[in-house]
Amino acid sequence: MSSHDESRFGADVYGARLERAAELTRAARLDALLITPGPDLQYLIGSRAQSHERLTCLVVPASGETPSVVIPKLELAALGPSAVAELGLRIVDWVDGVDPHALVKSILNAGARTAVDDNMPALHVLPITDRLGTLPVSATPVLRELRMLKDPSEIDALRRAGAAIDRVHARMGEFLRAGRTEAEVAADITAAIIAEGHTRAAFVIVGSGPHGADPHHEVSDRVIEDGDVVVVDIGGPVEPGYFSDSTRTYVLGEPSEEIAEQFAVLERAQAAAVAAVRPGVTAESVDAAARDLLAAAELAEYFVHRTGHGIGLSVHEEPYIVAGNDLVLEEGMAFSIEPGIYFAGEWGARIEDIVVVTADGCESVNKRPHGLTRL
Ligand code: ZN
Ligand code: ZN
Ligand code: ZN
């Protein structure tokens, strides 16, 4: 028996996923899935291989036959020896000078109907399309059900990620002070994200004062001032690759009465959306729960993005918690609830937790207090 490897689930997990993926491919009336390095490949075989101009591609036949991996000889180690050995994948290796896209065709038949992962670069999609003579479709709708419904070991990973990022927020007083730049604060947060158990920091947003009004501001050399409201949105992956993503809003000193009042509405909106989550309701109804509450306080126009996004091996994945998405929520789905209010040129605020749908509601993997935290 090999020793416990926390970077992967057991071979049985990936074997079952590959079988289910083949079934779903068959149900979608396709002949094969073609998956290049990225979250879908990590989901199906646990491999962290990186995407390159040289083609690495998992071919999952709908027939249920053994999946193949077309791979440059020099990338075999990066694929993960355990992935290959444990799963009994058929290796079709190639060296420079060989046409790897033709190798994909040799595994399938001309005219095969395929689905490709959304991260496959055009430099592979186009030649594969040419060799097969058929236009692939997206694998995301095929794998949607599989990727969206987290099993207990995935939920456990999301809980560990949530606890790790909570520990970073708990230490914010060490990092965030007037007189420091956003970049200095972010460098300390980055180190803390790793120290608290992530393999890396995937994103660190420190939006102080007017920068808080830009939802995707990252960091700058702006010096944080007394009285600033500061949006801190941070996350990264924990083994085996599941992401944390949590936002809290801080204030240096005392907030004005207006800021405190508007923030209190945001806090209620975030809680209302969390309270709306349970199996059987639509994604858009959860978005509406937050939006309606802000609208009642005439703040809806300052909430300029969707309420949330799914999370797992990708930071942003299905289900999206957004107007127009009538997807019905099911137990095991995991996503963010992150309403925000943004006053251009002035200040902004956001509160973000990751929740997992349970039998009768949801569990938040983030446990830090939601209020405007005074530092
Ligand atoms: Zn985002
Ligand atoms: Zn976030
Ligand atoms: Zn998020």
User: Residues 33-49: pLDDT tens digits?
Assistant: 999 999 999 999 999 88
How far away, in angstroms, is 37 Cα from ligand 1 center? 22
Ligand sitting nearest the alpha carbon of 309: 3
Distance CA 294, CA 302 (A): 9
How far away, in angstroms, is 129 Cα from ligand 2 center? 36
How far away, in angstroms, is 60 Cα from ligand 3 center? 31
Counting residues of the chain whose pLDDT is more than 70, the rounded percentage is 99
Supply the CATH classification number for the domain 149-374.
3.90.230.10
As a whole number, mean pLDDT of residues 300-312 equals 97
The whole-number pLDDT of residue 79 equals 84
131 pLDDT above the threshold of 70? yes
Domain ranges in the chain with CATH number 3.40.350.10: 11-147
337 pLDDT above the threshold of 70? yes
How far away, in angstroms, is 66 Cα from ligand 3 center? 37
How far away, in angstroms, is 311 Cα from ligand 3 center? 8
> Interior CA angle at 313 toward 36 and 28, to 5°?
55
pLDDT single digits (tens) 194-230: 999 999 999 999 999 999 999 888 899 999 999 999 9
pLDDT single digits (tens) 57-82: 999 999 999 999 999 999 988 887 77
Q: Which residues pair with 243 in a beta bridge?
A: 237
Ligand sitting nearest the alpha carbon of 247: 2
How far away, in angstroms, is 233 Cα from ligand 3 center? 8
Ligand sitting nearest the alpha carbon of 336: 3
- Among 7-21, 69-83, 173-187, 260-274, name the one with the lowest average pLDDT: 69-83
Mean pLDDT, the chain, integer: 95
In 3D space, the residue among 373, 372, 283 whose CA is nearest the CA of residue 336 turns out to be 283
Phi, psi of 245 (to 5 degrees): -165, 105
How far away, in angstroms, is 203 Cα from ligand 1 center? 10
3 pLDDT above the threshold of 60? no
Q: Which residues, 6+ apart, have CB-to-CB distance to 274 below 8 Å?
A: 337, 353, 355, 362, 364
How far away, in angstroms, is 196 Cα from ligand 3 center? 19
99 pLDDT above the threshold of 50? yes
How far away, in angstroms, is 246 Cα from ligand 3 center? 7
Out of 3.40.350.10, 3.40.50.300, 3.50.50.60, 1.10.3470.10, the CATH code matching 11-147 is: 3.40.350.10
Sequence-ordered strand ranges (E) for 20-157: 32-35, 57-61, 68-72, 90-94, 114-116, 137-138
As a whole number, mean pLDDT of residues 117-131 equals 96
Distance CA 356, CA 360 (A): 11
How far away, in angstroms, is 306 Cα from ligand 1 center? 10
More confident residue, 27 or 85: 27
Domain ranges in the chain with CATH number 3.90.230.10: 149-374
As a whole number, mean pLDDT of residues 288-305 equals 98
271 pLDDT above the threshold of 50? yes
Per-residue pLDDT band at 50 (split at 50, 70, 90): confident
142 pLDDT above the threshold of 60? yes
Ligand sitting nearest the alpha carbon of 231: 2
pLDDT single digits (tens) 252-261: 999 999 999 9
Distance CA 149, CA 152 (A): 10
As a whole number, mean pLDDT of residues 330-336 equals 98
The whole-number pLDDT of residue 4 equals 58
Q: Which residues pair with 69 in a beta bridge?
A: 58, 91
Name residue 85's amino acid.
A
Per-residue pLDDT band at 297 (split at 50, 70, 90): very high
How far away, in angstroms, is 352 Cα from ligand 3 center? 7
246 pLDDT above the threshold of 90? yes
How far away, in angstroms, is 307 Cα from ligand 1 center? 11
1 pLDDT above the threshold of 50? no
